[in-house]
Structure 1
């Protein structure tokens, strides 16, 4: 009689372990990957909206600082757009001056540029420059520091 109980309890333990693994896997997929997929779908929908509103826009990137913004460009214009795909501001592509922004970061703030990209500060378009140990946002128009922090 004891052997039957032992075999039954082993089977029950095995079945409960499998159920536990299935439940944990389902919870993981719902609460971890689910929100990530929703976020990706939302971002893709915003990019699609931007592409419809601004014909011929290329190089759309997302920048997160004070809030989420998107950057893109056409042959003549740079665009900064909000999370809804509405234009925040735009500048002529001829105004783009990565070299001057790098120079300002180096000479005035001691940051050697390892990467540079466009972003959006509190109220203005910016160059986001990352150095070895720090990151700085420099205003697109005035080349004045908007924000700086150590990485």
Structure 2
């Protein structure tokens, strides 16, 4: 059997084209859903900012529900996925020192981050600390959920 240089070149060219198509398809299927998700989140945040012009620093939180938490000059506001306000609290009611003390006392842990979220029915503090994560009711500081590290 004779090896023809022209047929080898055509075969290599077709193989190269097939590899390019495969890599393009992989890139599309891997990044496509992520881009779609990011666009959805960006659209929801834009909708919130459009409806509530003074809202800044909008964060997304997922626990039992997907909620967005934003703030203006004197309030924290929680929004549902449709962009409607579901709860609000005055900034003066923020109890970071009490949350830190509660974590040290009840969980013997050192707080690394306190943020806002939404539990089953109410706004919560989302507390990340060295032994895990705990959700504390915003108003009463009662435990809503506790996830130990490693579980």
Name the TM-score, length of structure 1 as normaliser: 0.89
CA separation of 1:20 and 1:91: change in aligned 2, threshold 3 A: same
RMSD over aligned Cα, in angstroms?
1.6
Name the TM-score, length of structure 2 as normaliser: 0.89
SS in 2 for 1:40: helix
Partner of 2:42 in structure 1? 44
Give the deviation of 1:8 after TM superposition: 4.5
Give the alignment partner of residue 12 of structure 2, picking from 1, 11, 14: 14
Ranges in structure 1 where 5+ consecutive residues have no aligned partner: none
Q: Count matched residues.
A: 149
Ranges in structure 2 where 5+ consecutive residues have no aligned partner: none
4+ aligned runs moved over 4 Å, structure 1: none
SS in 2 for 1:50: helix
Give the alignment partner of residue 98 of structure 1, picking from 80, 96, 99: 96
CA distance in 1 between counterparts of 2:22 and 2:130 reads 41
Partner of 1:76 in structure 2? 74
Partner of 1:147 in structure 2? 145
SS in 2 for 1:3: coil
Give the deviation of 1:9 after TM superposition: 5.1
CA distance in 2 between counterparts of 1:13 and 1:110 reads 68
SS in 2 for 1:114: strand
